Amino acid sequence: MKFDTPAEPNAIDQLKVVGQPLDRIDGPMKTTGRAPYAYERHDVAPNQAYGYVVGSTIAKGKITSMDIARAQAAPGVLAVVTAQNAGPLGKGDMNTATLLGGPEIEHYHQAVALVVAETFEQARDAAQAIRIDYAPADGAYDLAASRDKAAKPEKLTGGPPDTAVGDFDGAFAASEVRLDETYTTPDEAHAMMEPHASIAAWNGDELMVWTSNQMIAWARKDIAKTLKLAPEKVRVSSPFIGGGFGGKLFVRADAVLAALGARAAKRPVKVALTRPLMFNNTPHRPATIQRIRIGASREGRITAIGHESWSGDLEDGKPDGAVSQTRMLYAGENRMTTTRLAVLDLPEANAMRAPGEATGMMALEIAMDEMAEKLRLDPVEFRIRNDTQVVPDDPGRASGSDPQGKAPSAGGDSNQRRAFSQRKLVECLRLGADKFGWSSRNPQPASTRQDGLLIGHGVAAAFRNNQVVKSGARVRLDARGAIQVDTDMTDIGTGSYTIIAQTAAEMMGVPIGRVTVRLGDSSFPVSAGSGGQFGGNCSTAGVYAACVKLREEIGRKLGFNAADLVFADGEVRSGGRSVPLAEAARDGELVAEDTIEFGAIAKKYQQSTFGAHFVEVGVDPFTAEIRVRRMLAVCASGRILNPKTARSQVIGAMTMGVGAALMEDLVVDKRAGFFVNHDLAGYEVPVHADIPHQDVIFLDETDPVSSPMKAKGVAELGICGVAAAVANAVYNATGVRVRDYPVTLDKLIEKLPSAA
């Protein structure tokens, strides 16, 4: 199905099942321990052996010698795999570094060997017997020290690395009020509960991999490329994933080494990365340095806005897209963004929940508050005053009419600029301010005390683009009138099983209990996968497309006029005639398969999601300990397919935002080039005691430009801006402005107002 015009009224609009706050259908399996995660697939392949990964103890250099003889002779050992005996290997398209290092070492804890044994303990013990000599080389591990050497990357995800509109330098210099500040964000880890884990088994030259991976088609392709196999020789299964956050978008060492170990041991092998290897061997969110300049009139209209960002990665890596939201979020005729990438010899940097906007808004939304203070404007009002209904960095690309044919108004922006399909940022800010009680906030920092604490309130806008990716599904009707959906879409805790079942139930007119959903298998039609907050909208749109085909086939089978078919209550109705749905499959099941493909409409309008975050904190005036007291998120994200699962995604994202604001910091050993706090004891993330009551409000909206579902993504929008809202609240509480994340007590304590 080609989606190239705005969605008309359709069966989804009934909202009998879609849009309802239904419990997750996979919940009972997960709460009773019956959901099969990758490492626990004991039933899929008999006689599984255990693999233990050995990581490099240098960050850059070469292996000069490796003695594996003692490990091979250790009790229970079946094989030891290294780059020397693994055979020729390729590198996946999505990998920056090779997944099995040697003799060249590209980063600390790069996998250099796998020991396979009868038990995990035997494999781990034998791994300690491997003797490796290295020739270390000097490396670059400090972003600040490498800033001047950073270069313009070839491209930035979602656009060019640099943009310019108008005369930024001239307008900034002439602005009546100016801000010029630099902000930093540290390296961050995904730190998901489930480790990267895989089981691999060979059947002749065919490979089966049960793994924890968000993007099945990508995984299949890159495993095949790395092992130099034809893709049709590889099958990947990942029905349940215990957290990903972008860290499992790409194939990692566990999957490739499990396959190599299984080939060497001639039996199935399971591999899980230990927690330190998860931090140093798999991707992380890179640190950033961001300079933001804003010029404005005394009335609070932005006249110039510039955002420069520096981040680092391995050779041939990618930059963080911290400037991306600044190109679209606020009006201003004179604009500039630049992105620079430094080559660092740290572990690979790559996508983490809301890559780009999550880090960029940590800086931009503090800068907006600082500018509002200079202008003596309420920070909510300052943001509203600089709203725009067209893309300010995109002059003259389209006529600018909205999906309903109305010309956009944009506070001085040209009507020839590309319009947003929906943009309700102002509504989010105003509704959030009202529900949060923003009007009672004391704008004077360090002026409110309660229960012995300094109390502060902060706000930030939320922004994340809505991406659309083609997605396929297969839908089956059996003689019982039951529906089965097959798609390689994954569920990383987001509720994919449930919203896909809701979509099929709505389209086919059956209760959700009559729908079975099978996910995460490369033998199923290729879906959008889980990433970029495109998964829910696009995968359900693919199911919608397949259901449209199945409905047409059912109509033909039953002799109906397909134009006026109604599917409801387990029946098919048309022109006063009603037939049980099961009747259509009496002579055999009916199967339909289709893929949603997004046409030019995806480029004609700018599709984005918007929101507002409000936070209250309390700061101990003696110790500078920070406690978040309450939080509110208001989201405008198209049709919400399941308010219960969507709320769970947003409050989880808000929690991650608190972590980014107050505690998360992968500390780099700048001599040896590794992350020191590479476990959940040293790398702090929020726990239940850190998180107060959280409120989430979804605006009642649909976006017919996005998909037939009229939905958009929401799971990453929830993290965008949260950290800045917390930091702004801390400033309001204490009068101390911290521009280097995380906002920890040592950065406050010497500057706090008197505790008396």
Among all residues, which ones are annotated catalytic?
Answer: 716
From CA 638, how far away is CA 636, in angstroms rounded?
6
DSSP code, position 530: S
CA distance readout (Å), 3 to 469, 528, 532, 638: 11, 15, 20, 17
DSSP code, position 156: B
Strands (E), 87-205: 104-105, 111-117, 131-136, 163-165, 177-185, 197-203
68's tokens: 């594996």
Print the SS3 string covering 665-686.
Answer: CCCEECCCCEECCCCCCCCCCC
Rg, Å, the chain Cα set: 27
From CA 46, how far away is CA 56, in angstroms rounded?
31
From CA 611, how far away is CA 423, in angstroms rounded?
10
- Residue 347's beta-bridge partner residues? none
- Residue 53's beta-bridge partner residues? 114
329's tokens: 């979020």
CA distance readout (Å), 492 to 234, 244, 418, 424, 624: 22, 6, 34, 29, 36
CB 567 within 8 A of CB 509: yes
Distant-in-sequence, close-in-space partners of 145: CB < 8 Å, separation ≥ 6: none
Of 358, 301, 365, 309, nearest to 334 by C-alpha is: 301
CA distance readout (Å), 65 to 82, 215, 374, 713: 12, 37, 62, 50
Residue whose pair of structure tokens reads 């079942």 in the numeric block = 501
CA distance readout (Å), 234 to 88, 263, 264, 522, 639: 17, 14, 17, 8, 37
Of 368, 362, 743, 369, nearest to 752 by C-alpha is: 743
From CA 281, how far away is CA 542, in angstroms rounded?
34
CB 289 within 8 A of CB 300: no
